Amino acid sequence: MDESGTPPRREKVEDQYLVIAGPVIRLSQWKGIKRDFEATKTRHGVTGEIKWKDFGTHRASHRNALNGLTHGEKDALRTELLQLVASCPLIACVVDVRASYDIQNVETPEDVYRLAYRGAVHLFHEHLSIEATRKDRARKGVIISDHRMRKDDDLLHRHHEDLLSGASGFLYPHFVETLMFSRSHFSLGLQLADLVAGSIYRAYQNNDTRFAEALSSGFCTRPPIGRLGAFHAPACWFYF
């Protein structure tokens, strides 16, 4: 899973939405998706880490894998990569940051982040539960999150453990182990999650749905902007 950014403090809210999102990749799919991901990059002459923000910047940087691509070439690459990730089930939780601070016990940016994370976790587990029912066999999953600051990772890890303990009022028997962290340049899944979060964020924040629409086949439902979701949160849920 990856997020669209860091939610601001209450008094500095400017960005209206926070998105936490990611693809659900089965073990049997992993090698094929990685092969197609790397082949797509090679066709476009790209090496290195794919980052959503690099599609919108024209500044040269040794960390920008898209250096040298024109705007049209970037859009073509992004569209192909989004079509690839849309072959997986997709999970996304969108939270209205300003409205979040009106919820009881939501006082800090970390509280807003936890609100979105809890929604995304709940939807992933719901997906596993539905899959188990459909296939009549156990479905287990693990969440890999993008590494942030050590303090932030520790807080999120504790929050995840609280969720698994049943403190939220829900049980999550389909999860394996605990929350795991990785750096995005080492992780195909996190680079794909970054593309999903960025596309959905742009649809809500900038009213530009081009890239979110490219992901639509990965979502089972697409509620309208502003719809209230679970936990009485000012959130809009997408789920497979």
pLDDT tens by residue, 19-39: 999 999 988 999 999 999 999
136 three-class SS: coil
Percent of the chain, pLDDT > 90?
26
Instruction: Calculate the dihedral angle through the C-alpha atoms of 143, 148, 154, 157, rounding to the nearest 10 degrees.
Output: -10
pLDDT value of position 149: 79
Nearest-Å Rg of the Cα atoms of the chain is 18
d(C-alpha 233, C-alpha 102), whole Å = 10
Strands 2-3 and 17-23: antiparallel
Residue predicted with more confidence, 202 or 228: 202
Residue predicted with more confidence, 220 or 176: 176
d(C-alpha 187, C-alpha 182), whole Å = 7
Nearest to 234 by CA among 89, 104, 48: 104
Q: Which of 81-95, 198-212, 224-238 has the lowest average pLDDT?
A: 224-238
pLDDT value of position 235: 45
pLDDT confidence bin for 2, thresholds 50/70/90: very high
User: Which residue shows structure tokens 């999550």?
Assistant: 172
- The answer to whether the predicted template modeling score (pTM) of the entire model surpasses 0.75 is yes
How many CA atoms are closer than 13 Å to the CA of 68, on its beta-carbon side?
7
How many CA atoms are closer than 13 Å to the CA of 239, on its beta-carbon side?
19
140 three-class SS: coil
CATH, range 2-238: 3.30.420.10
pLDDT tens, position by position, 101-147: 888 888 999 999 888 888 888 888 888 888 888 876 778 898 988 88
47 three-class SS: coil
pLDDT tens, position by position, 158-211: 888 888 887 777 788 888 877 888 888 888 999 999 999 999 999 888 888 889
Given a cut of 60, whether residue 222 has pLDDT beyond it is no
The backbone torsions φ and ψ at residue 207, rounded to the nearest 5 degrees and listed phi first, read 55, 35
d(C-alpha 189, C-alpha 23), whole Å = 7
Q: Show the DSSP H helices in 86-221 as ranges.
A: 97-100, 109-135, 150-164, 188-205, 210-214
pLDDT confidence bin for 41, thresholds 50/70/90: very high
β-sheet bridge partners, residue 182 = 146
Q: Are 58 and 123 in contact (CB under 8 A)?
A: no
**End-to-end CA gap in the chain:** 15
